[in-house]
């Protein structure tokens, strides 16, 4: 007989900090879906270049919609890969913010670069602090 314990999944066992993050990511995904046409037309800075059209839409779909939803699935089902996945895609946002700070600071303004970068660092901190929740 196996002595492996099956960990409870779903909303109830999720720590409060991750529940708050869950809600933020749901709003993030919803906002990204609503704003994808604007990003398609006006573009967005991505690692030192401004991308427009299909490439901007693809960046939004992959990083602002698919990646958070994938993490939320991992969070809900307590997958051990979820924190590493979140660290990877949120780090992309942080690095992009650092690059934008040096290249697009005058064009975008400091507030539009610094605030999302700080929030993403907070998200990383919350996930890092709750990483034991995902251990199986």
The phi and psi torsions of 11 (rounded to 5 degrees) equal -75, -40
Beta bridge pairs of residue 49: 46
Residue 11 domain-assigned (yes or no) = no
| 31-67 pLDDT tens trace | 999 999 999 999 999 999 999 999 999 999 999 999 9
124 vs 135, higher pLDDT: 124
Residue 42 domain-assigned (yes or no) = yes
Per the structure, the complete domain to which residue 91 belongs is given by 16-130
| 108-133 pLDDT tens trace | 899 999 999 999 999 999 999 999 99
Residue 5 domain-assigned (yes or no) = no
pTM: 0.89
Would you say 40 and 53 are in contact if contact means Cβ atoms under 8 Å apart? yes
Quick check: 96 pLDDT over 60? yes
Give the count of domains, the chain.
1
- pLDDT number for residue 28: 96
> Residue 42 and residue 64: Cα distance in Å, rounded?
16
Residue 116 domain-assigned (yes or no) = yes
Both structure tokens of 63: 């990083």
Residue 58 domain-assigned (yes or no) = yes
Predicted confidence band at 11 (pLDDT cuts at 50, 70, 90)? confident
Residue 4 domain-assigned (yes or no) = no
Both structure tokens of 35: 């704003």
Residue 88 domain-assigned (yes or no) = yes
Residue 7 domain-assigned (yes or no) = no
């Amino acid at each position: 007989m196996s002595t492996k314990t099956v960990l409870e999944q779903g909303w109830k066992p999720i720590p409060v900090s991750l529940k708050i993050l869950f809600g933020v990511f749901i709003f993030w995904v919803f906002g990204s879906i609503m704003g994808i046409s604007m990003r398609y037309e006006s573009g967005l800075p991505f690692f030192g270049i401004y991308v427009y059209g299909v490439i901007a839409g693809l960046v939004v779909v992959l990083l602002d919609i698919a990646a958070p939803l994938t993490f939320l699935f991992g969070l809900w089902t307590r997958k051990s890969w979820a924190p590493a996945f979140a660290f990877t895609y949120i780090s992309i946002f942080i690095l992009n913010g650092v690059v934008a700070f040096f290249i697009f600071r005058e064009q975008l303004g400091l507030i539009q670069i610094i605030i999302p970068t700080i929030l993403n660092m907070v998200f990383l901190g919350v996930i890092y602090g709750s990483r034991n929740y995902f251990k199986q």
